[in-house]
Structure 1
Amino acid sequence: MDITFLIAAIIAVLATVRVITCYHIMHALLYLVVSLLAVAVVLYTFGAPFMAILEIIIYAGAIMVLIIFFVMMLNLGLETVEHEKAWLRPRIWIVPGLFCLVLLGELLFLILQNRQPAAGIQVVSPKQVGMAMFGPYLIAVELVGILLMAGIVGAYHLGRQQGKTLHRFLENNLDT
């Protein structure tokens, strides 16, 4: 086995274990991003650079931003300000930062090495991914879109403030 695969796989497993065992949501999210980046490096070592980029853009980028916005929308009050200050201490970022540096080093090593995928591994082009997604799996893609939309609507309803909504509702009904 390739040493870059083993290092990325070990980092992915360790980061995922930390996601499960962390008590603070922001710590868990930080380790989840590291885990997703490690999975992207694993995909790259298997000769799937397009899937590795999709892993970074879709999961580590977009979905993590949505989760962070959801946590911000909850707005739990003044007592959480001290917790947020504790989350930003530099010692919290040391281990995830080291993991990311190792992954970055591996990725640079793989890119500069510029070697071809191992024998027997078929490279999948973006056109093939698109044809598969919008060909036989069209209904599954549409159902996932509907599921994501339901999640966004649910996050909105969980995060909105009931007092302000009720106050506006009462003002509008009293005026008419």
Structure 2
Amino acid sequence: MMWPFYLMALVAIVSTVRVVTNSNPVHALLNLIISLLAVAGIFMIVGAPFAGALEVIVYAGAIMVLFVFVVMMLNLGQHTVEQERKWLTSDAWAVPALLSFLLGLTLVWMISSDYTPAGALLGKAVIGPKAVGQALFTQYLLLVEIAAMLLLAALVAAFHLGKREPGEEEQD
């Protein structure tokens, strides 16, 4: 009965390793989305559905859109567009597609077997939004603020590192 947890953990580990080892930022972002969805599934399994929903909405949704905007904002030129077309082959999508299939398989099993978070595999009780809010804005407030500042600093640094002067286009 523990196999959904271990499957989600395996998908999270494999996709996170692929994020770190991948040299292409778009492929790394794709694997990061899969990793975040797997972590959300783990939250659901341990009895924290609100934390899992926050994981999907905040991280896999909003922050990933922010990362995609930063990559688009860098505007690396026509040479990069042609290079990206070469990289977007079926080989690049095979592992993320397999990991997504495993996540979907686990989700279908959980829905079809009347799986309820109250009878969670590891968690003893369901953690609601009030408990999450109290934890985030009391004992973890400093960590939340530091994470926000870190993300803002990374966005500003990426903008300044990728900024080009007007009329400065790469020549092939």
TM-score (norm 2): 0.81
CA distance in structure 2 between the aligned counterparts of 1:85 and 1:60, rounded to whole angstroms: 24
Corresponding residue for residue 13 of structure 1: 13
Once the two structures are superposed, residues 76-106 of structure 1 have per-residue CA deviations (whole angstroms, 9 ceiling, x without a partner) of 2221111121233233212211211210121
Alignment of 1:155-174 (within 5 A): 155-163=158-166
User: Structure 2 vs 1, CA of residues 104 and 127 (structure 1 numbering), >3 Å: closer, same or farther?
Assistant: same
Unaligned runs of 5+ in 1: 165-176
CA distance in structure 1 between the aligned counterparts of 2:105 and 2:142, rounded to whole angstroms: 40
Alignment of 1:1-176 (within 5 A): 2-112=2-112, 113-115=114-116, 116-118=119-121, 121-163=124-166
Unaligned runs of 5+ in 2: 168-172
Between the aligned residues of both structures, percent identity stands at 46
Instruction: Show structure 1 runs of 4+ deviating over 4 A.
Output: none
Q: Is the 8 Å Cα contact of residues 47 and 123 (structure 2) preserved in structure 1?
A: no
Q: Is the 8 Å Cα contact of residues 37 and 55 (structure 1) preserved in structure 2?
A: yes
TM-score (norm 1): 0.79
CA distance in structure 1 between the aligned counterparts of 2:18 and 2:123, rounded to whole angstroms: 34
CA distance in structure 2 between the aligned counterparts of 1:77 and 1:119, rounded to whole angstroms: 49
CA distance in structure 2 between the aligned counterparts of 1:119 and 1:66, rounded to whole angstroms: 33
Q: How many aligned residue pairs are there?
A: 164
CA distance in structure 2 between the aligned counterparts of 1:49 and 1:8, rounded to whole angstroms: 15
User: Structure 2 vs 1, CA of residues 28 and 143 (structure 1 numbering), >3 Å: closer, same or farther?
Assistant: closer
Q: Which amino acid aligns with 2:127?
A: V
Task: Provide the aligned C-alpha RMSD in A.
Answer: 2.3
Higher helix share: 1
CA distance in structure 2 between the aligned counterparts of 1:67 and 1:98, rounded to whole angstroms: 23
Q: For the pair shown, which has the larger CA radius of gyration, 1 or 2?
A: 1
CA distance in structure 2 between the aligned counterparts of 1:4 and 1:135, rounded to whole angstroms: 32
Q: Is the 8 Å Cα contact of residues 5 and 45 (structure 2) preserved in structure 1?
A: yes
Q: Which amino acid aligns with 2:44?
A: Y
CA distance in structure 2 between the aligned counterparts of 1:83 and 1:138, rounded to whole angstroms: 43
1:23 aligned counterpart, secondary structure: coil
